[in-house]
Amino acid sequence: MGQFTCGLIGHPLGHSISPEVHRRLFALSGTQGSYELMDFPPEELENHLPALRALDGFNVTIPYKQSLLPLLDMVDGRAARYGAVNTIKRTENGLTGFNTDVTGFLRALTQADIPLTGNVLLCGTGGVAHMMACEALERGCVLTVGARTYGKASAFADELTARYPGSRVEPSALAYLSGSFDLILNGTPVGMYPNIKDIPVPLNVARSARAVFDTIYNPTETALLSRVRAAGAKVQNGLAMLVWQAAAAQEIWTGKTFSPEDIDTLCHDMAAYIKEHFA
C-alpha cells in the first residue's frame, strides 16, 4: 500500500502531541504516512463522517470515544465490551472500531510497577474511564467511581454493576470524596494543559493513595502526580499509555510492529518534546 492517511478527532485538541508521536512511529517502521488533527464540536460529528471514511484510519479522543460507536459499521469485541473506541480502521466492510487504550493502560501500569488490585478510585465516566473500570472489575478490584455530580457517578456505577454482577462499585461526587485508596485512576481532563494547577480529587484523598495513574500526559507531571509523589506514592503519567496505544493503532492500520525498546526511547523523546513546546 502507498501512503497511509490518518488522523485524530476530538475537541479540543490544543494539547495533543499525537501528530508528532505518529510521525515518529511511521519513521520507525519505514512507513509513508500522514497524520492530521481534526478538531470540531460534537454537533458536527456526523457532518465529518464522509471525510473520515476517506482516511485509512484515525484515532478518537474526548468527547467521541463513546458517541462514535453507533456510527461505525463494525466494532471489535473488546471495544464493544468497554463501550468505547479510540482507533478506527477503514476496511472493505466500512469503518471498524477498536480499543488500543487498554494496551497502553496495562503496559503503563506494568512499567511503573503499579498493580491493578485492591481498593481503587476511578475519576471520570468517559470512554477511557469505561475501559479502566472494566479492567479493574475483571481483576476483582473494589471500585469507587467519582464524577462531578453524584447522579452521574451513580448512573455509571449502576451500569458497571449490571455488567459485572457481584462486583463492588460505589458512586461518589468527586468534591465530596473521603477515605484512602490503594490506587487512584484519573480518567478526567482535570489538570491537563493549560489548566495545570487543577486536581480532580480532594488533596487529603490524593495524598492517602499508595499509587496514582493519571491518563494526562501534558503536562508530564500533573499537579495531582506532584502532590502524591511528595507523599511517597508510586506515580505514572499518561505518556507511556499514549505512545503504546498509538503503536498498537499503527499495528492495526499498517501491520507493522514495534519493540519495547523503540517505545521506551520514544516515550523519553516525547517527554522532552512536551517540555520544549508547552513549557
Q: What does the pLDDT look like over 167-196, one tens digit per residue?
A: 999 999 999 999 999 999 999 999 999 999
- Residue 47 reports pLDDT greater than 80: yes
Q: What does the pLDDT look like over 201-253, one tens digit per residue?
A: 999 999 999 999 999 999 999 999 999 999 999 999 999 999 999 999 999 99
Q: Which domains does the chain have, with CATH numbers?
A: 4-99+240-278 (3.40.50.10860), 103-237 (3.40.50.720)
Cβ partners under 8 Å of residue 177, min gap 6:
121, 144, 146, 201, 202, 205
Q: What are phi and psi of 122, to 5 degrees?
A: -110, 120
Q: What does the pLDDT look like over 126-161, one tens digit per residue?
A: 999 999 999 999 999 999 999 999 999 999 999 999
CA contacts within 13 A on the Cβ side of 65? 22
Q: Which three cell numbers stand for residue 93?
A: 466492510
Q: Mean pLDDT over residues 97-121, rounded?
A: 97
According to the model, what pLDDT value does residue 131 have? 97
Cα–chain center distance at 227? 21
Rounded Cα distance, 117 and 267, in Å: 26
pTM, rounded to two decimals: 0.94
According to the model, what pLDDT value does residue 14 have? 85
Rounded Cα distance, 36 and 42, in Å: 18
What amino acid positions are annotated as catalytic residues?
65
Rounded Cα distance, 178 and 187, in Å: 18
According to the model, what pLDDT value does residue 97 have? 98
- Residue 1 reports pLDDT greater than 90: no
Q: In this prediction, what percent of the chain has a pLDDT beyond 90?
A: 97
